[in-house]
Amino acid sequence: MFSRSSWLHLRIPFSYFLLPVFFFALSISPNISPTPLLWALFIVHILLYPASNGYNSYFDKDEKSIGGLKNPPPVKKGLYYLSLLFDVLAIVLGYLKINLIFALLLFVYGLVSKAYSHPAVRLKKYAITSWAVAGLFQGLFTFVMCYVAINKFGLEQTFKPSVLIPGALTTLMLWANYPMTQIYQHEEDAKRGDITLSYKLGIKGTFIFAGVTFLVAAIGFVFYFIHFFEASYAWDFILFTSPVALFFMYWFLLVLKDESKANFAHTMWLNFISATCLNGFFIYFLLDATQLIQLFQ
């Protein structure tokens, strides 16, 4: 269970790419205190996401590159138990350190992530369903889950536009990005019978779909900041995310000349640039909107 290969398949550093959802939830939180914030961060990004990664890897048994691992080692039975251990730890700590609602949300997320890869259900083999479910649960659902944990709120305090709208925008962003994470795995997925959305769209179609969906999401963010905050944040959002758009267009031009450029390395670069730009923006937004940024001036 504690072999090096099992720990590698947890892909803990990959959680960095999903941090923007947490930081966005944090940036609009009205009841921030260090202890629940740090526990929520640890539980979601060091326990929950790695548990999902490990469980998915165990049933996929990939031989070629996967998100966060260029050369994945063969999976061992211990990975299955290690991923379940991380799941249990997340739920127990979620209950002890935050509240019952957070623990239940962690449990539901774990069930859905297992349905995504377990052969009895394997949502992954259904192109539209897997895309919709992954975006919804890694976006809106996780946003609400983090908001509940950071503020130690009940679920009823999330049923308002000021929470649900930004949560929905994170889902839109993930719906744009999700097919791009599959673009280099067409051969591997097809071997297992997983007909992903990216496989259906084709390489060029994936870029077009992702570009259009990202544009819709960006427009949504602009209107959100104008309506709930002020127009300057909309311009800041565009500025912070412009490197993502530039790299995306550069990569697309490369792929138009040579489809082999739709590979693992470029995918990881897109993920890294996107996560870094969004993390940077949401941290800035948190500091500026709460006027904490004045402490550094």
Q: Tell me: the pLDDT tens digits for 98-149?
A: 999 999 999 999 999 999 888 888 888 889 999 999 999 999 999 999 999 9
Q: Which of 82, 80, 62, 81 lies closest to 72 in space, CA to CA? A: 62
Residues with Cβ within 8 Å of 86's Cβ and at least 6 positions away in sequence, in order, are 10, 47, 48, 50, 51, 54
Fold annotation for 4-292: Farnesyl Diphosphate Synthase (1.10.600)
Give 179-209 pLDDT, tens digit per residue: 999 898 887 777 777 788 999 999 999 999 9
Which residue bears the tokens 């941090």?
19
Residues with Cβ within 8 Å of 154's Cβ and at least 6 positions away in sequence, in order, are 99, 101, 148
Q: What is the dihedral of CA 278, 282, 284, 285, to 10 degrees?
A: 130
The pLDDT of residue 187 is: 78
Distance CA 167, CA 155 (A): 14
On the CB side of 267, CA atoms within 13 Å amount to 25
Indicate if the pLDDT at residue 63 is higher than 80: no
Per-domain boundaries in the chain: 4-292
A 10 A CB-CB count for 74 gives 10
CA 123: distance to chain centroid?
Answer: 17
- The first and second tokens of residue 236, run together, are 């800041």
Q: pTM for the full model?
A: 0.94
